[in-house]
Structure 1
């Protein structure tokens, strides 16, 4: 049964669904179906309880996702959770004529999905131990086999979750869904104006006390227009609810030339304009350092070895940050934080855009003094985190007005060293801190002048077992902490401590100025696809002017 505080998640676009798939997998890996002690995380916020036709209890994401035809691979649009259609027997059909039965060949499943199927069969037989042994800590090599997000989907979706746009095909060169206004046009069809909106309404009516919406959207193509149209609908129909949006950009493109780069830039500008008008707060995500015409050099993390050309890799990193920074309004804290509190604090004075920063993993030693938070922070060298927003710095010597920071996977036992290990540190004011939140808040106070910081912590780490990609350096142990002995290559990492945050800061203005500069150079009339899809030249000029006005909110004279 719902417990209130529910959030509906919407995902628009292929890369958004790559991120979303990792995000739901992370949550499922941390879900304890049998524990009598409630988890620190209130899973009812994002997931819903249901029952199959066999009266089996299910937990599925309160999710609606949209992608193009051909992007589902092994997943059916309706799923197989509540019914499993069988091949009809021609002899039992009420038809006297000839029957021509055609069966679409099944897509071959990769090793992970095959094991997942065997695991489910074992559970149905009541063989819990056998099911756990199938996947457990097994290390899968999926880099070369993952082509679409459903190739590593662990959690099963509700039948109403998936919507495909059949007028456009994933990967098609002849009919591309690459223009912002094409998404607006798709929203105006019956499939969305009626059916999709009905699905939102069905979820909303199930909720006891809905907080609002999480929205992930590809902002570099037609899904930007579709996502913004959905935000407009939400603003009209659910005006009292909060929307936290994450426009996402891939770290690499399969195809690129001057025209394609210009089209992407215009799409991003139009998406950001719409987000600034219709989202309560939005935070761009990209593993590329630039993000507009081209993603730019990939972001560097000391303990991550990832391939920026693989969406399977880059989306996993963004999903870890997303799962962590949203914990503030998903924990069973007293009083429980709400999504509106986060958005209202960070979005003051019209600053509806925020930057995302993360430390993945948060580097603590597995043992010794460096394994305690106080000692680690005292010896810290360099930025605490790295930017995951395009054209934003890492916040060293940065002007930050507001920030919401979450540290996970660091328990109270790692707060500070025992008395016998204190050495000459008794005069350190940090030793008066009795919680992880107090310690980190003191550190942020010392590092950031006149910054209002909210800190959330939980001892629960981020689960990164299969099918999460193997992107961690050999310094990281199976538990996510640093060890002098390198981890064996045939052993994966199961969980990691993470720090992540949302920041209202001056570098967001730099990001907007960079986008405005690129977008204002474009002659939209030369990009014929926009005019053909319904965009007027004056509308694009208005978009450019609104971006410039939005940038002004981040000037120093408007400080909080």
Structure 2
């Protein structure tokens, strides 16, 4: 069935993942066999039976967060209430108490399930990713990190090494890898690999290293596609910003070495959106994780489309081979046109692209491999102008995927698009009364020379840091010595060399 196992580590990853799974749910036809779907849901979902005999179809995913980070967790109760925690994966459950009251959006979903009327809910007042979740998850997919609590000033979860220590301590207490993870993998018939969403500028980068170490020990040849997510660093004091930069550098070097492809993703900012050309169509509150994670999720969801299709599918391994055919270009980047602006005259020229991985860069001098996905674009619309910035169509190091299905916008998705976008996602000269319910989207997933600039910027941010001043990185069983820190800087410089253009050959 070409299964993919999804792993989500930390609040940023779980916000992104919640949007991601809500999108998958939007593809379901719910019994209407006459409505075709382009997607093979079995790639990401697993079938099962609850203890009460109810057939279930839940994401093949494991989600980690700190204690107190799971919100109300109401979405799985109806399917899995009253289960025995000692039974096998098909009927197992990690007991997590409901940690807060239901968000009004969850109450609205409950009312709709019971045949009640829909009501408008202010989704901008979000305190947890579970507040806007629409999907039933298997309860054993939810895994609290027992060693740390949300917003605990006595035990902050804010350094890479604290995360690596937490993974080791958590496994000793819970054996999640030996139990839930292994059971999930063993039930797969044709495992393609893993897609991992993780915070990369906090302790979850270190937690991800521990998990990836275990995966590599057991599945040394499996494809692992890792998305490392960074939040805006323009706020906070200097020490806080410096720690985020250090965490990011450790994540870039260590997680990329354990992954087949590592994709750094930066939260969009108003300036980046404006300079990308999308400012006329996209108006998010960039201080809201609910908003910024929606943009990241739409981008990830679209670039991963090729290995979830029923027909003309691209295997995860083939995608990895396209981007890393040189075997030294594991760091890849994503740019997105959300929405892909289409008017009566065709696609807007020049094509607006928001660079989420190498922000501030101009067109790359060298592109080593690229995968372009276009979805929801009418067949009558010419894309010649949009594609002029990419490699030729028949280039061996380019893949183009065209999907008829537009990107769906369930009511859990932020309404931050221009009022001049029609319900089906087209540009209009007149103000629209109804928001779009789907959008055409284009993504560009590539390995290219712009990564050198991003790596150099990150390295520069750490040059002022002395490990003597940041003593917390030396604490615990996984503390780093000064020599290990210098080795990490050396690894960064080696990566910069890989992605740098040889001026003598240019």
Q: TM-score, normalised by structure 2?
A: 0.89
Structure 1 distance, partners of 2:202, 2:138, is 27
Larger radius of gyration: 1
- Residue pairs, 1:329-408, within 5 angstroms: 329-334=307-312, 336-349=313-326, 350-365=328-343, 368=344, 370=345, 375-376=346-347, 380-393=348-361, 396=363, 398-408=365-375
Match in the other structure for 1:94: none
Q: By how many angstroms is 1:39 displaced?
A: 1.5
Mapped contact 1:11–1:215 kept (Cα < 8 A): yes
> Are positions 1:299 and 2:273 aligned together?
yes
Structure 1 distance, partners of 2:393, 2:314, is 24
Cα deviation, 1:186-216, whole Å, max 9, x if unaligned, reads 2212536832342221111111100000001
Structure 2: runs of 5+ lacking an equivalent: 85-96
- Residue pairs, 1:86-125, within 5 angstroms: 107-122=100-115
Structure 2 distance, partners of 1:478, 1:77, is 28
Please give the secondary structure, in 2, of the residue aligned with 1:524: coil
Please give the secondary structure, in 1, of the residue aligned with 2:490: helix
Match in the other structure for 1:8: 5
- Residue pairs, 1:113-512, within 5 angstroms: 113-122=106-115, 134-135=117-118, 140-143=121-124, 145-189=125-169, 191=171, 194-251=175-232, 256-288=236-268, 297-300=271-274, 301-302=278-279, 303-334=281-312, 336-349=313-326, 350-365=328-343, 368=344, 370=345, 375-376=346-347, 380-393=348-361, 396=363, 398-412=365-379, 414-415=380-381, 443-444=388-389, 452-488=397-433, 491-512=434-455
Mapped contact 1:392–1:507 kept (Cα < 8 A): no
1:72 to 47, 70, 85: 70
Q: By how many angstroms is 1:80 displaced?
A: 4.9
Query: Structure 1 211/392 Cα, relative in aligned 2: closer, same or farther at 3 Å?
Result: farther
Mapped contact 1:346–1:403 kept (Cα < 8 A): yes
Query: Structure 1 516/32 Cα, relative in aligned 2: closer, same or farther at 3 Å?
Result: same
Please give the secondary structure, in 2, of the residue aligned with 1:381: coil
Q: By how many angstroms is 1:50 displaced?
A: 1.7
Match in the other structure for 2:52: 54
Query: Structure 1 322/462 Cα, relative in aligned 2: closer, same or farther at 3 Å?
Result: same
Cα deviation, 1:365-407, whole Å, max 9, x if unaligned, reads 2xx3x2xxxx43xxx43344220114452x5364322110101
Aligned residue-pair number: 484
CA RMSD of aligned residues (A): 2.8
Q: By how many angstroms is 1:275 displaced?
A: 2.0
- Residue pairs, 1:521-536, within 5 angstroms: 521-533=464-476, 534-536=479-481
Match in the other structure for 2:89: none
Mapped contact 1:364–1:482 kept (Cα < 8 A): yes
Q: By how many angstroms is 1:77 displaced?
A: 11
Structure 2 distance, partners of 1:161, 1:541, is 38
Please give the secondary structure, in 1, of the residue aligned with 2:499: coil
Structure 2 distance, partners of 1:445, 1:16, is 30
Please give the secondary structure, in 2, of the residue aligned with 1:553: helix
Match in the other structure for 2:42: 44
Structure 2 distance, partners of 1:229, 1:77, is 29
Match in the other structure for 2:92: none
Please give the secondary structure, in 1, of the residue aligned with 2:112: helix
Q: TM-score, normalised by structure 1?
A: 0.80
Structure 1: runs of 5+ lacking an equivalent: 87-103, 123-129, 290-295, 417-435
Mapped contact 2:147–2:169 kept (Cα < 8 A): no
Q: By how many angstroms is 1:177 displaced?
A: 0.5
Structure 1 distance, partners of 2:233, 2:69, is 18
Mapped contact 2:80–2:139 kept (Cα < 8 A): yes
Structure 2 distance, partners of 1:298, 1:315, is 15
Please give the secondary structure, in 2, of the residue aligned with 1:314: helix
Mapped contact 2:228–2:262 kept (Cα < 8 A): yes
Cα deviation, 1:426-455, whole Å, max 9, x if unaligned, reads xxxxxxxxxx7xx68964557899883211
Query: Structure 1 446/208 Cα, relative in aligned 2: closer, same or farther at 3 Å?
Result: closer
> Are positions 1:554 and 2:499 aligned together?
yes
Please give the secondary structure, in 1, of the residue aligned with 2:224: strand
Cα deviation, 1:4-41, whole Å, max 9, x if unaligned, reads 11000001111111111111111111221213255211
Mapped contact 1:403–1:451 kept (Cα < 8 A): no
Query: Structure 1 348/440 Cα, relative in aligned 2: closer, same or farther at 3 Å?
Result: farther
Structure 1 distance, partners of 2:48, 2:113, is 18
